[in-house]
Structure 1
Amino acid sequence: MSEPTVVRVEGEQPYDVVIGHRLLDRLPALLGGGVRRVLVVHPRALRATGDAVREDLAASGYEAVTAEVPDGEEAKVAQVASFCWQVLGQAGFTRSDAVVGVGGGAVTDLAGFVAATWLRGVKVVHVPTTLLGMVDAAVGGKTGINTTEGKNLVGAFHPPAGVLADLSALETLPQFDLRAGMAEVVKCGFIADPGILSLVEQQPDEAVRWDSPVLAELVERSVSVKAAVVGEDLTETGLREVLNYGHTFGHAIELVERFTWRHGAAVSVGMVYAAELGRLAGHLPEKVVDRHRSILAGLGLPIAYRGDRWSALYDGMRKDKKTRGDLLRFVVLDGSGRPTRLEGPDPALLQAAYVEVSDS
């Protein structure tokens, strides 16, 4: 395997995202000096991985403990965060100690939130084990948990001390989860780097093979897109909103489906919805909308949603974090690599876009 690639995320608290294979020996360097105790947060499905990380840390001289949490979005609730705080308290964690999140986006969101809130903020390093986690959730400093009212409504901005994107972890990732993660990769292509789209179109099979150079390049390009955005706008006061392309409708699907849909699958439909909304609002030519459908469907991702849920979806979108008062805000495109905002669109326009993505 080639040498790892390092993408630097700038800002007030700069950090490195290390991308490559077999990277766990680099974890102590990202934790830095002064750390004595480390909490390894991992999902139930990755118990062996979590134990291996704990053992490696113990062999390096750390007092390492684990907190096993539920799989998927079930981990992102207040009760699980409270459990992690309890572990930290019982183990005597101080402000100079650290949390390591090992798992997919749900775990890194949770671990980051726990680190952000323990003693008003301790160090966190993410070890994402899914493609979604590597290109999106673990990078950028957004942390959060869900409530019954919506996704990520409780959270904090808390940049990690570093991210280890170990591509070897993708070897055992179920194929659909890998493909679902590609939705965030494609998103980066449409908002900032059309070269991503060309790579996926030209080599679709290599794009979803865990050990291919094409996938490695796609991860590097996607992380670079996100790093450039969050380095300028950590707290989403302006530019960072473009990273939410497809997410307003996608998050509404997740809420309506009680988080049983994969995030990437929901965002895939959400991007097609945003493309149709942009077309209907006069921003986007039809050929770019068609390109959305072609690329996403070619990756085996859904591009339509059931046609009898408009009321619930509209209510879900009104609860989105980007909403200001009663003003709904969407990221749409003026063309590939040219995101813009659409504020307060007519509800009839929103419903018309929904009809375009309905499968019935």
Structure 2
Amino acid sequence: MSAVLKVAVDGAHPYAISIGADLLDDGVLLAATIRGRHALIVSDSNVAPLYADRVQAALQAVRPDLTIARLVIPPGEHEKTLQRFGEVLDALAGLSATRDAAVIALGGGVIGDLAGFAGACWMRGIDVVQIPTTLLAMVDSSVGGKTAVDLPAGKNLVGAFHPPRAVIADTSVLHTLPDRELRAGLAEVVKYGVTAVSLDPADAGFLDWLEAHAEALLAREPAITAEAIARCCAFKAAVVGRDLLEHGDRALLNFGHTFGHAIEVEQGYAGTHGGGLNHGEAVAVGMVLAMRLSAALGLAPASAGDRLQRLLQRLELPTSIPEGLAPDALLTRMRLDKKADAAGIRFILADGAGRARVVPGVEEATVLAVLAG
């Protein structure tokens, strides 16, 4: 087994992120995260046939006393609903899960958000172990305790902050990840590069590093991929440790997401069915739009947007709004963004040199001009 990288998340609810190959078979590591005698593995029909047996076998080799149940749902963002949330709760009830039970989220961001939210609500909160199987989930959604489901009106509108007991990122599973999903995860990796100085001034050169290793990341070179995951997790751990509930600079992690979420909602969450953009692709477009808005407001030079667009294109990600999405319809979606308040939409914008900021009160006419441009 290769070396395991560890990232500590501090704060009121500390936990460890473990990053390395073949961790799904490490029964000692997995079992150490389970306090009680009940565990529910939540996964989807793409991931479960590949990995659920391995996780259960590794756990029961060390903890034969464990009672383990599974819930497998169809894949896709459109499954992150209140109905599926209720199914997870029903599965916990069927397991007779007690307060020291654990929900094991085995999958991508959808599974992590859904299972995490159910864990936050069952008996007012039980342990959640995040085992992300996509790059996007490894670098972002599995870390930090944001859990939620979607509504037709918008993404992640119903949820809770519920930090996991542990995050276990097995990099070997990325070998089976479809190319499109890998690229979607790289969009979130780029997000950390654009905001790096604000997140951790000691690691301000991450965007330069990404530009130097773009092709290696696309080729899934193990050492480069593991380093990227660890650095992204370290960025997020630093922010989450000081701002769990997103009252301050944790909001910077939403760079590109206000635009991106609007695209996803307007497309009816059609990223995995119907030909729409998936989350990472929408965030890629959203980051370009956010940088263009930054330039329009005089916060960043136009060259910063060009640089970001070139990097995203090297990573084979989309950088323009899909045809058929009207600017005024996207703006309507953004008005229901979770960062909006009585003063209007708040955007996360950047100066182009790794510094991001929350900008309230942006004139909607300026936003529309960027969307139409």
- TM-score normalised per structure 2: 0.92
Q: 1:2 to 1:336 in 2, by over 3 A?
A: farther
Q: Please state whether the residue corresponding to 2:320 is helix, strand or coil.
A: coil
Q: Distance in 1 between matches of 2:82 and 2:189?
A: 29
Q: 2:332 — aligned with what? A: 315
Deviations 1:304-345 (A, max 9, x none): 013651121001100100000251100101232211121111
Q: Please state whether the residue corresponding to 2:70 is helix, strand or coil.
A: strand
> Partner letter of residue 56 of structure 2?
R
Shift of 1:277: 0.4
> Partner letter of residue 17 of structure 1?
I
Paired residues for 1:1-360 under 5 Å: 2-24=2-24, 25=26, 26-31=29-34, 34-48=35-49, 49-59=51-61, 60-61=63-64, 62-192=66-196, 193-260=203-270, 261-306=277-322, 308-356=325-373
Equivalent pair of 1:113/1:156 in contact (CA under 8 Å) = yes
> Partner letter of residue 41 of structure 1?
V
Q: Please state whether the residue corresponding to 1:340 is helix, strand or coil.
A: strand
Shift of 1:108: 0.4
Q: Distance in 1 between matches of 2:131 and 2:219?
A: 20
Tell me which stretches of 4 or more aligned residues in structure 1 moved more than 4 Å: none
Q: Please state whether the residue corresponding to 2:47 is helix, strand or coil.
A: helix
> Partner letter of residue 8 of structure 1?
A
Deviations 1:37-85 (A, max 9, x none): 1000000112221233223323322111101112021331011111111
Deviations 1:120-179 (A, max 9, x none): 000010000000000011000000000111100000000000000110010000011101
Equivalent pair of 2:284/2:319 in contact (CA under 8 Å) = yes
User: Structure 1 residues 167-176 or 329-338, which shifts more?
Assistant: 329-338
The number of residue pairs the alignment matches comes to 354
Q: 2:200 — aligned with what? A: none
Deviations 1:192-237 (A, max 9, x none): 1543322221222211233421111111111111111111000010
Equivalent pair of 1:54/1:65 in contact (CA under 8 Å) = no
Q: Distance in 2 between matches of 1:165 and 1:196?
A: 21
RMSD of aligned Cα (Å): 1.3
Q: Distance in 2 between matches of 1:144 and 1:123?
A: 16
Q: Distance in 2 between matches of 1:58 and 1:66?
A: 14
User: Structure 1 residues 171-180 or 330-339, which shifts more?
Assistant: 330-339
Q: Distance in 2 between matches of 1:21 and 1:306?
A: 37
Q: 1:336 to 1:30 in 2, by over 3 A?
A: farther
Q: Distance in 2 between matches of 1:337 and 1:345?
A: 21
Q: Distance in 1 between matches of 2:114 and 2:105?
A: 8
Q: Distance in 1 between matches of 2:353 and 2:120?
A: 35
Q: 2:199 — aligned with what? A: none
User: Structure 1 residues 138-147 or 84-93, which shifts more?
Assistant: 84-93
Equivalent pair of 1:9/1:230 in contact (CA under 8 Å) = yes
Q: Please state whether the residue corresponding to 1:265 is helix, strand or coil.
A: helix
Equivalent pair of 2:258/2:286 in contact (CA under 8 Å) = yes
Q: Distance in 2 between matches of 1:162 and 1:258?
A: 32
Q: Please state whether the residue corresponding to 1:205 is helix, strand or coil.
A: helix
- TM-score normalised per structure 1: 0.95
Q: Distance in 2 between matches of 1:327 and 1:52?
A: 48
Q: Distance in 2 between matches of 1:328 and 1:250?
A: 14
Residue identity (%): 43
Equivalent pair of 1:39/1:100 in contact (CA under 8 Å) = yes
Shift of 1:187: 0.3
Q: Distance in 2 between matches of 1:294 and 1:203?
A: 14
- Structure 1: state its 5+ residue gaps: none
